[in-house]
Structures are given as C-alpha cells and as structure tokens.
Chain A
Amino acid sequence: MTISKKEWILLALRKAPLDRIHLMKALFLVWKRSGKNIPEYFDFVPYLYGPCSFEVYSVLDNLLSQGLIIQPSHSPQRSIGYYLTKQGRIEAESVANTADLSKIEMLELVVEKVSQLGFHELLKEVYSEAPEFAVNSLVREVIRK
C-alpha cells in the first residue's frame, strides 16, 4: 500500500512532535536512505537552507485546516513543533496498522534521531549525508565548521 504525503507526516508526528525544519529534514532523510525511491513522495530541491520540498508546507496547511495536527501559538521568530490532535492520532494509528512495517520502522528511526538533534547538529548531519542538496544553502560554510 502506497503511503500518501499526508500519511507520511502523520506517521512522523506519531513518533515525536517536530518543528517544520526538523520535520522537513526527517522526511528528506527517509527519502535519501530509501535510495530516493519512494512512490508518490515529496519532491526535494536544494534550497536556501538545504533540501526542501515546498509540498510539505501545503500538506501541513491542509492537515492544520483538517484539525489533524496543531501548532501552539508562538512568536513569528520561533519555530514550534506540530502535534497530532486526537483525530490525527486515530488516523496515524490506522495508517500504521496497514502500512509496510519496514517503512514505518525506518521513518521512526529517523524521527527519533532527528528529534534529539539541535538545529546546528541537524543541518550538519543532513549536509554531510547529502552535500548535493546543500549547494544553495545560505549557511553551508558555517555549518561545515
């Protein structure tokens, strides 16, 4: 069964709440570690902060408007984690029960690791694993040090 983009995000947040950049990088690492071969997955481009899929933003907006995830109110300068709502958790559990177990295990491993990394360590990990996606990064040289 193919996991949809929305379901990938629900499954990631089922493991741990993540802010937008941590979520973006986790979804990227899943794709990279799957040999860049996941059907109907997010398209990543080398953007100004490394790998980025603009689809992630629109899917997050849809999940927020459907009431499946929430993000506590925060100052614009701070990035706060997304959390599953009760309805979102029910949907995430339902997907987890039917999806390919190996994919879920890999996603959970990545999310667990990413959620423990600070901002700098996260970018360092991603840029060293996929330098071709760091070419346009504004902070590539800073992160390398």
Chain B
Amino acid sequence: MGSDRQITSGMVRSTGQKIQSLNERCLWAASGEPALIQRVEERMGTLPPNAPLVNLRDQIGQIVKQCITELLQLDFRTPFIPQDPNQLLQLHPGDFVFAEFSPKPCVLHITAFGTPEWIKDRPFASGNGDLFAYALLQKYQRKSLNLERASVLAYKVIEEAIEVGAYGLGPPVDIWHLNTDGVKCLDSSQIAGIEDSVRTLREAEINLLVNKSE
C-alpha cells in the first residue's frame, strides 16, 4: 500500500502519514476531508482487536456512515442544502480503503455512503490522484507481481501522479508492506532503494524509446 504525504485542508497543505495500521495484519488509509477522517480514526479503536476484515466490514461501514451523519448534523450549512444526498456528501467527502494479507489477502473499499465493497483482481486508488493512478496502472490489471516489484510500481505511479497533479498531492511517498509477518512501514533507506529502482526503470523506458527512434 502506498500514498503521498500531503494533507490538504482547504487552501492549506501540510505533511503527514496517511496510511495507518488497524491492527497487526491490517492497514487502512483515506482520502477526503480531514475532519471526517479524524472522526473515523477515533472510532477505529472501538473495533475488536485483530478481527479479520470480513468480520469487520459492516461495522466499519456503520462507523463511516455514523461519522458523516454526525458531521452533517453539526454543520450549520446542512439545512441550507437541498435534501439531495450527493450534495450533502460534498460537504464532507471521504473515501476509505482497508487491506489485509491474512487470513486471506483482501482489499475493502468503503465509500462516503458507508457502502462496503471488496476490490478483486484489480488495483485500487483513491483521492485527488486516482485518475492518474488508474491510467498508469491499467496495463497491470490481473498481473501478478512480487512484493518488491509491486512496491516499485506503487512508488512510480504515486511519484508520477504527484508530478502532474495540480492540487492535493505532494511528496514524500510512503510505502507499507503487508505479508505473513504482518504490516510494516518501509524505512528511509528502503524507500531510497525503491526510489532509485524507479528512476532506473524510468530512464530505461525513455532510453528504449529514444534509441529506437534515432
């Protein structure tokens, strides 16, 4: 799982970690409004420790729905918005993703509506850079990569999305691993190794095309 580290709050940006561990086997991250994400984060502590995602799916959906409902009730703008759920949700946008490796590898997406869905056989991206990420990942659908190579791909996609995205994306890049050993945030030396691998890959790609056309 990978992310950039830019936290955007209106016109202000700051840096922070977006990926968090839910327990020893599960990671989660979110895009959207910090107020909503913080509220959901506070409630995550109430979930049973180390329960598999398949058991937590609907509880997490309830938490997200409850947090959005609370924020809408607090928000003085709410009565002025027509009773259109999509317009109401635009006041407090949020998108949540959870991933675990064991007991079985799975990725759970929870929308701001509180609706849970499993992501199967495809990459998943969320936030301001999601369209860039989907475009860059499209050719890897249903391809199997080992953890190291998948880390390089995730880093490359996020770095390139940061480079072209006009708003809401910024370095540095975080990469986490999930495997049988649990979850782990890569340290700065490991990230630097991935960064240099990405640069090597990008240079080779350019060289391949440039040399062929000369």
Contacts and interface: CB of A to CB of B under 8 A. Distances in A.
A63 B196 CA distance: 19
Place the interface of chain A in its size category.
20 to 34
A142 B196 CA distance: 17
Chain B: interface size category = 20 to 34
Interface in A48-62: 48-50, 52, 54-55, 57-58, 61
Nearest to B202: A77
B207 A48 contact: no
A21 B163 CA distance: 21
Interface string B197-208: 101111110011
A52 B207 contact: no
A61 B196 contact: no
B159 interface: yes
B189 A142 contact: no
Contacts of B171: 76
A48 B152 CA distance: 9
B192 interface: yes
Contact of B193 (A54, A75, A79): A54
Nearest to A139: B204
A113 interface: no
A52 B159 contact: no
Interface in B167-194: 171-173, 188-190, 192-194
A142 B207 contact: yes
A137 B196 CA distance: 12
A143 B196 contact: no
B19 interface: no
Interface string A44-85: 000111101011011001000000000000011101000000
A24 interface: yes
A24 B204 contact: no
Interface of B: 148-149, 152, 159-160, 162-163, 171-173, 188-190, 192-197, 199-204, 207-208
23 contacts: A48-B149, A48-B152, A48-B200, A49-B197, A49-B201, A54-B190, A54-B192, A57-B189, A58-B189, A61-B189, A75-B163, A76-B159, A76-B162, A76-B173, A77-B163, A79-B199, A120-B203, A123-B200, A138-B152, A139-B201, A139-B204, A142-B208, A143-B204
- Top 3 nearest A-B pairs (CB, nearest first) are A49-B200, A48-B197, A139-B204
